Amino acid sequence: MGTMKLPLEGIRVVELATHVAVPMVGRLLADWGAEVIKVENPSGDEWRILGRNYGVPINEDDNPVFTMPNAGKELVALNLKSAEGKEVLLKLLDEADIFICSVRMKSMQKMGLDYDTLKKRVPKLIYAHFSGFGPEGPDAERPGLDRAAYWAKSGAMIDFSSIGDHPINPLSGFGDATTSTMLLSGILAALLARGKTGEGTFLNTSLYGSALWYAGIGVVLCQEQFGGQFPKDADNPPRPLAHFYQCQDDEWIIMVSVDHDKNFPLVAKAMGLDDYLNDPRFNSSKTMDAEGHGRELTAILQQRFRTKPSTEWAEIFAANDLVYEPVYHVKDTVKDPQALANHYISNVTMPNGLEVSMSTNPVQFSAYGRKAEVQHAGGIGCDTDAVLARLGYTPQQIAQMKADKAVK
């Protein structure tokens, strides 16, 4: 499959961004065949050092945390405060189809790199901008990272927990990665439109806006006119058949059933709770809600789950074609047969020989190939010389620009 044509071959992308959200857009575009040049400042993307917070290497030849959102790109280091560094960026944009950026817009305007300025120079350019909170309003110019702008401000950090619990502590980059798919969808729509009009456009999204979109059902459910109680009581969930339970082995399993009345007899039989099949407290969701019997049913189910390990319950639910899932630890996924069978996890060998399991782009095409393996992201400016040479700079000019600290 690796030798087949990729769907975005011939598309050129310039990335001026740090951390995860926008770099993950660049990674996805590169996975699908686009030529992506990532521009860092000479000190590098701050995401390069995140791994040390978790005991993961951050060296140039083995930095898996940085590689995850930056695989498959050429890496160029430019000092945009210098005239020469800025001119290199402009030359890259002259040849680009897409510009993806997470630098705050006021800074881009000061440098003359805002869309209104660039579209005069590159009318075909698709300019995709990302921020923490959106382009308008009192928070427009505030810095915003994943856990703050996505999780905390959207309410998900506290309301997705249970009453009495601490706010959840999400994995680093999770909100960024989901936001990247929103920005990517806008870019692809703009690319399709440009094929019809020949004109570029400006588009934007934010961590906060994307969080509200992905939590859209919760935005409706939390309103006072619908009861609006969040976070929920773990011992009294809205639907006991769509809840998580702890098993004999202390592991957790979740059942997911939307239609209580339809599925209660199936679950009761599967779990050996036949005595409750005709219990009027539980076999009608209307009665259960009106009379407040959900807490009772939750307690009965929890007691029953404690009689068998999670593996046995999984076999029982699978045999009865019920929707369930053991609550995995993330470490379990790297060896999960389902993930491996679908190539969702890839074993990557770093240049120094370190082997790391990494997530791969989960979108697969029938008519196009996919990159055979994740490409390690190198050190700061590792491709600067090659990219500058393609732009027409001589070795002497490149050496002088390095001496002037315009590039690295």
Ranges of residues in the chain with a pLDDT under 50 are 1-2
289 is catalytic: no
What integer pLDDT is reported at residue 371 of this predicted model? 66
Question: Which one of the listed residues 176, 235, 289, 332 is annotated catalytic?
Answer: 176
Sign of CA dihedral 217, 221, 224, 226: positive
What integer pLDDT is reported at residue 104 of this predicted model? 95
Maximum distance among all Cα pairs of the chain, rounded to whole angstroms: 86
What integer pLDDT is reported at residue 129 of this predicted model? 98
What integer pLDDT is reported at residue 305 of this predicted model? 97
What integer pLDDT is reported at residue 24 of this predicted model? 97
What is the residue extent of each domain of the chain? 12-214+362-403
What integer pLDDT is reported at residue 338 of this predicted model? 95
- Can you tell me the distance from the alpha carbon of 321 to that of 323, in angstroms, rounded to the nearest whole number? 7
User: Across the chain, how many H-helices and E-strands are there?
Assistant: 18, 11
Name the burial class of residue 203, with classes exposed (0-12), middle (13-18) and buried (19+) by CB atoms within 10 angstroms of its CB: middle
User: What dihedral do alpha carbons 293, 296, 297, 300 form, nearest 10°?
Assistant: -170
Per CATH, the architecture of 12-214+362-403 is what?
Answer: 3-Layer(aba) Sandwich (3.40)
pTM of the model: 0.93
What integer pLDDT is reported at residue 372 of this predicted model? 59
Radius of gyration of the chain (CA): 26
What integer pLDDT is reported at residue 1 of this predicted model? 42
- Tell me the pLDDT tens digit for each residue of 114-133: 999 999 999 999 999 999 99
- Can you tell me the distance from the alpha carbon of 106 to that of 171, in angstroms, rounded to the nearest whole number? 30
- Tell me the pLDDT tens digit for each residue of 344-387: 998 888 888 889 999 999 998 988 877 657 888 999 999 999 99
